[in-house]
Structure 1
Amino acid sequence: MAFSALQLSMHTLEQLRSGALAGTVRLQLACGLTEFPPEIFDLADSLEILDLSGNALSTLPEDLPRLHKLRVLFCSNNRFTLLPAVLGACPALSMIGFKSNRIREVPAAALQPALRWLILTDNCLTALPPTIGHCTGLQKLMLAGNQLGALPAELAACTGLELLRIAANRLTALPAWLLAMPRLAWLAYAGNPFSAADEAAAAAEATPDPIAWPRLEMAQRLGEGASGVIHEAVLRQTAPHGDTAAQPVAVKLFKGAMTSDGLPRCELAACLGAGSHPNLIPLLGEVIGHPDGLHGCVMALIDPDFRNLAGPPSLASCTRDVYAAGKAFSQTALLRLAHGIAAAAGHLHQRGIMHGDLYAHNILHTSRGDALLGDFGAASLYAPGGAQGEALERLEVRAFGLLLGELVERCADLDASVLARLGELQGRCVQPVPGARPVFEDVARQLALEL
């Protein structure tokens, strides 16, 4: 899953030491640090967000709690082997990011109940302390790319947990208590031993058209996400009479590295297995023969009338997308958009695919309510049918319910009776007992009646 990047100007040690940064709220230093600069403590009365990613740190000072206003700490891409226990003593700290270190252990003392967002992606963890169950304020937990063989049962006490990333670990099963958590809406677990058989079966059934690299003429970059880069391109086709036709397309080339959601190969498998649906971005084939061995897929080039529905969550919003100021929908557009996404999600679940990141920032839309669901970076595969498959679908229905609520909030001309019915549907989708939520087929059917 994406989130709004921390927009900081890169600072320098010279600025810090000269006092030029006095009173700053946000500080970012990436200059090969091997020790925590003591001058940071001069900012104790103002500093709230500290980013020390991209250095060579392995420890933090024991008096770190002197930064009594510190809310957010990023120390990704450093050399930590232990999550510093002192973090648990920082009075205001609610977001911790230690992605891509070498962390093997999380001491119980490092965690505190006020923690909302914990990022430990791409480390070497084999276990979490049972005391994580004391973090009752936890909303986001990102653990993809570790060596976890199980989740502590005490995590079930974190009833506010909404997003969980456990892809690419060593889990042998999804615990039943996990699928019963009342607020969990976004889950990614691909690339674990328990999901390997389903992923292999999906790969065997997928029959994408192979598109040789020489047939593609790459053009401008359209965008870049955690898992890959998307380019505009031209696909050369040879017509029966020997002429060459050109088709505008979009090409996503996967980076091959671990992302916060999981492994790009799992994303590719979900893309290939998703099939065709009017509210999914059409997939034309799989790239073969890239000179650097990269994997990729070729998609239809989307009409420029389509725009992102919202931006990803910010540090402040945590699990909720950020909409442009003044964003509004007509009743017709809202209903078309909501129905299209519910139908697309239902289609995916019929094929044993949980999107895992059903958010507005992964939806393209037009002012008319046309909608396309994209970005399978957090997708997970399962065998359709059975109790677990239905539980996974009802989990994702909660994500849709939250989306529906956001759309309704931004529609000023809803007929009172329609508003009442949508409110009732939204309430059923997000209610805390997962087994009592509707499935996507029922949601799409009710929305179709409103069109």
Structure 2
Amino acid sequence: MDTLAQLRAGQLTGITRLDLACGLTEFPREIFDLADSLEVLNLSGNALSSLPDDLHRLTRLRVLFCSDNLFTELPACIGQCAALTMIGFKANAIEKVPAEALPPLLRWLILTDNRIVELPEELGDRPYLQKLMLAGNRLQRLPERLSQCHRLELIRIAANQLSELPEWLLTLPSLTWLAYAGNPLETEADVAALDATTSIAWTELRLEQQLGEGASGVIHRATWARPGQAATPVAVKLYKGEMTSDGSPLHEMNACITAGLHPNLIRVEGRIADHPEQQAGLVMQLIDPSYRNLAALPSLASCTRDVYTEDTRFSANVALRMARGIASVAEHLHDQGITHGDLYGHNILWNEHGDCLLGDFGAASFHATSDSLESRALQRIEVRAFGVLLGELLERIDSGLSDAERARLEALQQRCCQPDVLARPGFSEILGLLDIQ
């Protein structure tokens, strides 16, 4: 983290990224001294409510973060920044988004956890728009001109006030990751499944070391001491209860439970009862330490694509075992009326044998289990996510795949990603086509 003193002393000359979080109430004019080099400006975690009208003087600025501030309107001056592609104003108090605030090269827009009721139609006139984060607002409709955004791949509209998914949304040729839980339009979760879930008393659990932390909660290793039984090692996830970029953590918990049992899912043992601070949580299967994440989260540069390490390589058997496992669990979820919404390598744990587990239900949504054009389209959108994953696996196979087998798998990958949503195969057909041995 940089300091205001360093900025004012001229010690940051030539930097490409500036991070300032020091209770700012006004934009420091000294930032303009960095105009020749500054590409990423992060002013999150301050008390700002406006930006200067001449912000466009930062001619190299590509990324602007102003989350956790006091803005009530997306500043119009942002739209004059010719090189700006990514904007993040999460967790402010924004009610209005003027069309003038949208820069021409906009690729990634984060307006999560605000008070927005309506977005301008001009948002659909941004041809490079690829990622749109709108969870936790008050939207009752989406701009119809978004139907022109043929590069849009990821959209988060969970926890709004949408009464229906527009037909054009389900036909967008590149849409791959969609989250819409917590809107009036969503099919309710299977309440019977939730009620039938085992309740685990907080007093039976003893937390040990922290295993990880995400946007929705913290995971600990723990022991579960049931009366009259030996203590069992488990994982405990305690939910933060705050709005995330995907949606509400409590919707994630419900989806985890409703998903049920599958070999490629992390088993849920039960829900935590009687937490002293009424914190929601799940007790889950403890994963063997031989499992690791398949990929890292997308970067500012990759936008919607996971980042793999240079040395990530697989044999054909391992890659195809993972592909079959993920296709199988996706089919299972769709049968339960659930779309995962975040089917990505970074949400997959795997080991050297190709065993894999799909996790992180933060973007999961419910849909009708009966066959309809809408449910079929929602499922085929997720098929495109699988197609992206299959392509990433194929790129990293270093042995054991003949030219004919590779051609068949590449043809399947292309079918999964074709622009005609309803023409994509379902997971049942995909599983058959993956059985090439």
Match of 1:94 in 2: 85
Match of 1:4 in 2: none
Match of 1:391 in 2: 377
Match of 1:12 in 2: 3
Query: Is residue 405 from structure 1 mapped to residue 391 from structure 2 by the alignment?
Result: yes
Match of 2:153 in 1: 162
Match of 2:431 in 1: 444
Counterparts of 1:176-195 in structure 2, within 5 Å, are 176-195=167-186
Q: Give the conservation status (yes or no) of the 8 Å contact 2:124–2:146.
A: yes
Aligned counterpart in structure 1 of residue 130 of structure 2, from 135, 139, 152: 139
- CA separation in 1, counterparts of 2:96 and 2:352? 49
Query: Is residue 370 from structure 1 mapped to residue 355 from structure 2 by the alignment?
Result: yes
Q: Give the conservation status (yes or no) of the 8 Å contact 2:82–2:103.
A: no
Match of 2:231 in 1: 246
- CA separation in 2, counterparts of 1:290 and 1:314? 36
- CA separation in 2, counterparts of 1:329 and 1:105? 48
Once the two structures are superposed, residues 231-250 of structure 1 have per-residue CA deviations (whole angstroms, 9 ceiling, x without a partner) of: 000011233xxxx3011000
Moved more, 108-117 or 96-105: 108-117
Amino acid at match of 1:247: T
Match of 1:318 in 2: 303
Match of 2:224 in 1: 235
SS in 2 for 1:333: helix
Query: Is residue 286 from structure 1 mapped to residue 275 from structure 2 by the alignment?
Result: no
Query: Is residue 79 from structure 1 mapped to residue 73 from structure 2 by the alignment?
Result: no
Report the CA distance between 1:345 and its aligned residue.
0.5
Q: Give the conservation status (yes or no) of the 8 Å contact 1:335–1:450.
A: no
Match of 1:5 in 2: none
Report the CA distance between 1:205 and its aligned residue.
3.1
Query: Is residue 41 from structure 1 mapped to residue 32 from structure 2 by the alignment?
Result: yes
- CA separation in 2, counterparts of 1:205 and 1:56? 44
Query: Is residue 301 from structure 1 mapped to residue 286 from structure 2 by the alignment?
Result: yes
Report the CA distance between 1:60 and its aligned residue.
0.5
SS in 1 for 2:14: coil
Amino acid at match of 1:220: Q
Q: Give the conservation status (yes or no) of the 8 Å contact 2:82–2:104.
A: no
Once the two structures are superposed, residues 46-103 of structure 1 have per-residue CA deviations (whole angstroms, 9 ceiling, x without a partner) of: 0000000000101100110110000000000001011011111101100000000011
Q: Give the conservation status (yes or no) of the 8 Å contact 2:295–2:308.
A: yes
Q: Give the conservation status (yes or no) of the 8 Å contact 1:185–1:395.
A: yes
Query: Is residue 209 from structure 1 mapped to residue 198 from structure 2 by the alignment?
Result: yes
Q: Give the conservation status (yes or no) of the 8 Å contact 1:112–1:134.
A: no
Report the CA distance between 1:383 and its aligned residue.
1.4
Q: Give the conservation status (yes or no) of the 8 Å contact 1:216–1:234.
A: yes
SS in 1 for 2:314: coil
Structure 1: which 5+ runs fail to align?
A: 1-9
- CA separation in 2, counterparts of 1:205 and 1:213? 21
- CA separation in 2, counterparts of 1:280 and 1:415? 31
- CA separation in 2, counterparts of 1:113 and 1:249? 49
- CA separation in 2, counterparts of 1:143 and 1:209? 34
- The TM-score, its normalising length taken from structure 2, stands at 0.98
- CA separation in 2, counterparts of 1:113 and 1:306? 43
Amino acid at match of 1:227: S
Match of 1:3 in 2: none
SS in 2 for 1:412: strand
Report the CA distance between 1:220 and its aligned residue.
0.3
Report the CA distance between 1:203 and its aligned residue.
2.5
Aligned counterpart in structure 2 of residue 21 of structure 1, from 5, 12, 17: 12
SS in 2 for 1:193: coil
Considering only aligned residues, what root-mean-square deviation do their CA atoms show, in Å? 0.8
- CA separation in 2, counterparts of 1:51 and 1:184? 28
Q: Give the conservation status (yes or no) of the 8 Å contact 1:104–1:123.
A: yes
Moved more, 185-194 or 385-394: 385-394
Match of 2:58 in 1: 67
Match of 1:255 in 2: 240
Match of 2:410 in 1: 423
Percentage identity across aligned positions? Answer: 60
SS in 1 for 2:295: coil
Report the CA distance between 1:311 and its aligned residue.
0.3
Amino acid at match of 1:427: Q
Report the CA distance between 1:112 and its aligned residue.
2.7
Once the two structures are superposed, residues 211-263 of structure 1 have per-residue CA deviations (whole angstroms, 9 ceiling, x without a partner) of: 11111010000000000000000011233xxxx30110001010001000000
- CA separation in 2, counterparts of 1:78 and 1:349? 39
- CA separation in 1, counterparts of 2:365 and 2:137? 17
SS in 2 for 1:194: coil
Q: How many residues align structurally?
A: 434
SS in 1 for 2:394: helix
Q: Give the conservation status (yes or no) of the 8 Å contact 1:75–1:99.
A: yes
Q: Give the conservation status (yes or no) of the 8 Å contact 1:203–1:269.
A: no
- CA separation in 2, counterparts of 1:203 and 1:128? 34
Report the CA distance between 1:113 and its aligned residue.
3.0
Q: Give the conservation status (yes or no) of the 8 Å contact 2:193–2:257.
A: no
- CA separation in 1, counterparts of 2:36 and 2:103? 22
Amino acid at match of 1:298: V
Aligned counterpart in structure 1 of residue 336 of structure 2, from 348, 351, 354: 351
Moved more, 204-213 or 311-320: 204-213
Once the two structures are superposed, residues 134-178 of structure 1 have per-residue CA deviations (whole angstroms, 9 ceiling, x without a partner) of: 111000000000000000111111110000000000000001110
SS in 2 for 1:450: coil
- CA separation in 2, counterparts of 1:145 and 1:238? 41
Amino acid at match of 2:320: L
- The TM-score, its normalising length taken from structure 1, stands at 0.95
